[in-house]
A and B are shown apart, each in its own frame.
Chain A
């Protein structure tokens, strides 16, 4: 393992990681049809990575919405345009903050737990044991977690957005006294289902879901079977996911806008 670390610079190593990750995605996708027989396992994983992340996602969504409401009210009041607060909160959250922050939270909360779980299964030979019991661990362990992530992240993103708008409304309307009708009428007049909800929240979330789940599963699956290895792998999951999310966000935005 040490010998491999020494070989090649950071760049070649990163490239090798990306390449290996891409190949792993192909393996994973090939295993997806086989993993349909483990549908219950997929459901169970949706529970673990999705439903268990709800608390953090909802809390953060609420606060992001509230702080946006506060800041925008402050800035927009300079121009006498506080009535646009709702619009800007909604658009900022739908297009950027919702999918991106949810994906970052998801990487920290669910991604690491996927990596650690699979890594521990690797370290304690559970994956080998499955192989020996003639159960394909890619189909039984990796694919359901991957699918669960891809399904759960868009749902979490949508919940985040709803909480964010609620938070913005709470601050803007309930505390700062923007007119309720103005808040909603400006928002509904500007926000577009196709551009903001489908392209913004859903498409980005699905893309992030694929990337984050892939990185988490890959890191777990290729963990060196030691406790150190698992620790490093979880760290790498967060770092790699965060970079990938933000870079991909830029690329997606430039295509979608």
Chain B
């Protein structure tokens, strides 16, 4: 516990995306939905991605893991075009995202669902209108059809009965399921989950877990999820990327990675406090800081 508090103290949340990483190239298969090549991003003087290469297979559930602040969420934002790298390409379904105009980007996003960490439901609208929002914005469907689509999606996440609740009346797990229903309202080919399990009780976590798998299996939706929950990821992911210092440091299926002998996987999956990710935030000499003239303790 003490160690976790320590980490939180040293790595403030809003700096989480600003730390560093390394690289391992991975060869892409033919059936790749997202292909990242040589992606380099520098934010506020910090290198987030250092020539990152990554291939995400179509129709699978892929997990991206890594220490806090390695830029996992940033990677998702690169895939959706919310952020652009300084160099390299990010191809989604063959289109290079950084090159897309705003209209093309918006068209692409209609095929990509995104589940935000804190659900990001629109507080002005009730559950029904939240799920209906993308439909109302992008289609001129008759009200009856919108109603049917929304209720179908809500039924899929088990919240049809909550259609008239306001977002503030929902628990965290429910809100996330509503957000999921909204993310799939256009039947996207790809869904990005940003920390979908954070802050959920075990029951809600299992419900979300089941939903992600069901959506993947029944609709064939490719899923990319950023998560820290090892057990959940091992349970669900077909493929895992471990990124650190701006590069992919390990990849494979969850079971293989857990038994891999590299220092990164050992620290990450073994949960050791010190390792390639140091316990100490970079600082000057300890003895000097405490006022001992020269020399170490």
Q: Which residues of A does B touch, CB under 8 Å? A: 1, 3, 120-121, 124-126, 128-136, 140, 224-226
Contact = CB atoms under 8 A, between A and B. Distances in A.
A173 to B, nearest CB: 46
Contacts of A130: 122
B269 interface: no
B116 A125 contact: yes
A132 B80 contact: yes
Chain B's interface size range is: 20 to 34
Contacts of A126: 120-123
B117 interface: yes
Given A129-B120, A130-B122, 4 more contacts: A3-B44, A126-B120, A126-B123, A132-B82
Contacts of B120: 124-126, 128-129
A121 B112 CA distance: 21
A139 to B, nearest CB: 11
Nearest to B135: A133
A240 to B, nearest CB: 24
A105 B28 CA distance: 60
Nearest to B136: A135
Interface in B267-294: none
Contacts of B107: 134
B178 to A, nearest CB: 12
Interface string B124-146: 00000000011001100000000
24 contacts: A120-B123, A121-B122, A124-B120, A124-B123, A125-B116, A125-B117, A125-B118, A125-B120, A126-B120, A126-B121, A128-B82, A129-B114, A129-B121, A130-B122, A131-B82, A131-B109, A132-B82, A132-B112, A132-B116, A133-B182, A134-B137, A135-B134, A135-B137, A226-B14
Contacts of B95: none
Interface string B202-221: 00000000000000000000
A37 to B, nearest CB: 9
A124 B114 contact: no
B106 interface: yes
Contacts, number: 54
Interface centre among A124, A134, A135 (most CB of B within 10 A): A134
B253 interface: no
B110 interface: yes
Contacts of B179: 129
Given A1-B14, A126-B123, A226-B14, A133 B116 contact: no
B133 A133 contact: yes
Nearest to A38: B137
Contact of B138 (A125, A132, A134, A226): A134
- Give the 9 A-B residue pairs with the shortest CB-CB distance, closest first: A129-B120, A125-B120, A134-B106, A132-B114, A134-B109, A125-B116, A133-B134, A135-B137, A126-B120
A3 B114 CA distance: 31
A48 B70 CA distance: 42
Nearest to A130: B122
Contacts of A125: 116-118, 120
Contacts of A1: 14
B82 A124 contact: no
A128 B73 CA distance: 13
Contacts of B80: 132
Contacts of B116: 125, 128-129, 132
A121 B122 CA distance: 8
B14 A132 contact: no
A125 B120 CA distance: 5
Nearest to A127: B120
A199 to B, nearest CB: 38
A152 to B, nearest CB: 18
Contacts of A134: 106-107, 109-110, 134, 137-138
Contacts of A135: 133-134, 137
A141 to B, nearest CB: 10
A132 B123 contact: no
A179 B106 CA distance: 67
A182 B254 CA distance: 90
A18 B137 CA distance: 33
B98 to A, nearest CB: 16
A124 B44 CA distance: 23
Contacts of B44: 3
B87 to A, nearest CB: 23
A130 to B, nearest CB: 8
